[in-house]
Amino acid sequence: MSKVFKVGLIGCGHIAETYFRAHKYFKNFKIIKCADVKEKAAKKCAKIYKIKAVSVSNLLKDKQVEIILNLTPPKVHYQIAKKSLLNGKHVYSEKPLAINLKDGKELLKLSKKKKLYLGNAPDTFLGGGNQKSKELLESKSIGKVNLGNAIFAFPGVQSYHPNPEPWFAKKEGGPVIDMGPYYLTALVNLLGPAKEVKAASLMKGSRFRTIGIGPKKGKRIKVECPTTYFTTIIFENGSIIRLTLSFDVIAHQRNHIELYGTKGSMIVPDPNMFGGSVYVCKKLGSPWKEFKTNQMPLGKINIRTQSSRANESPTNANYRGVGLAEMAYCIDKQKIHRCNGEVSLHVLDLIQSTMQSAKTNKPIRLSTTCKIPKLFINKEINKLMR
């Protein structure tokens, strides 16, 4: 029987409920305490989920806690992750790993020195949609992937997030930091590491956004960062992918990811979710063959409310927390986890290089690489699930 790891949560905001919901699906971790710089938020979280609220410093020093779940805003990820490692805790953070590559490299170096696990969202690439795509690619279903297109585009997080200010801030904002990790991690999982990016950015939407929900509904916030990026990514295997990330599009009907190989083409489902069908076409004019994932352990539909994001399905699968569960299992078994520091650092390198390339109008060579994660098979998944 797998060990159940005791988890301390830091950051009791919007995303916290998702990780508490993960207790329904995964059996090898338990959130036992929470903390937040806002004491009121921590106490509210503790009351709802019947756990104990403590200060951030006390949680970091707590000998009961084995893993810190870092759900703070992006600009605080590095600070909390570093303190967690220095206090002898394994750490799993929301995306991205940090907001600059230098800090990410320091975290990875520190985790190795301390012999502690460093994990990072997104874990959506572990879901049925991306894993079925990976299985088909590894079986050479569409041959060698030469080209591809990917897109995330909608009006912006202000419509559904009660505290959207960080997403429009100067250093931590924009669609590359927000949604880029989902698309970039999915592509790295399918194609391996990248070697170069060339990007352009625009600030095409309103210079102000209006918060759509919550206690600050109706408040106008200033946009201080580019809100649309067009990026060309060259992978080490020779694949070239065109990625669009935008907060300036009202609606669209393009597929999330399309890959074009020597023997056919593939439509990869939404990398922000876990399920969705994969489609393959091997001959011009032929119908697309559907590969359903709704019977896969991490593909079964458990969402039935319409997202406010463009081109997202009203029914889908959401098993966020599996990355934390898989990391806990790998700590216990002394194995390499899939949402590991090397993959997360490489994705951070892609994020920073994209933004730097857009700013300088020059191609950027990546300074990191990583091993492509292994296929996540049902035998492994079932060991984590209730």
Record the pTM.
0.94
pLDDT for 204: 67
Check residue 268 and give left, alpha or beta (phi > 0: left; psi -120 to 50: alpha).
Answer: beta
At 91-135, the pLDDT tens digits run: 999 999 999 999 999 999 999 999 999 999 999 999 999 999 999
Give the number of other Cβ atoms within 10 Å of residue 283's Cβ.
Answer: 8
- The average pLDDT across 270-285 equals 96
Tokens of 372: 């492509």
- The average pLDDT across 32-41 equals 97
Radius of gyration in angstroms for the set of CA atoms belonging to the chain, rounded to a whole number: 20
- The average pLDDT across 76-81 equals 97
pLDDT for 162: 87
pLDDT for 64: 97
- The average pLDDT across 214-229 equals 93
Q: Would you say residue 383 has pLDDT above 60?
A: yes
- The average pLDDT across 340-348 equals 98
Q: Would you say residue 304 has pLDDT above 90?
A: no
> Crossing angle of helices 341-360/101-114, nearest 10°?
170
Q: Would you say residue 307 has pLDDT above 60?
A: no
Band (pLDDT 50/70/90 cuts) for residue 269 is very high
Band (pLDDT 50/70/90 cuts) for residue 342 is very high
Tokens of 204: 């095409």
Q: How far apart are CA 92 and CA 254, in angstroms?
A: 33
At 194-211, the pLDDT tens digits run: 999 999 998 766 789 999
Q: What angle do CA 197, 322, 9 make, to 5 degrees?
A: 95
Q: Which domains does the chain have, with CATH numbers?
A: 5-123+378-382 (3.40.50.720), 125-315+342-365 (3.30.360.10)
Band (pLDDT 50/70/90 cuts) for residue 362 is very high
Residue type, 165: E
At 285-296, the pLDDT tens digits run: 999 999 999 999
SS3 category, 309 = coil
Q: Would you say residue 313 has pLDDT above 90?
A: no
Q: What does pLDDT average to over the chain?
A: 94
pLDDT for 311: 57
pLDDT for 2: 77
Q: How far apart are CA 182 and CA 187, in angstroms?
A: 9
pLDDT for 170: 86
- The average pLDDT across 226-242 equals 97
Longest dimension (CA), the chain: 63
Task: Please report the DSSP string for 236-270 in residue order.
Answer: TTS-EEEEEEES--S-----SEEEEESS-EEEEP-
What percent of the chain shows pLDDT beyond 70? 97
How far CA 104 is from CA of 74, 95, 117, 139, 142, in Å, comes to: 12, 12, 14, 34, 35
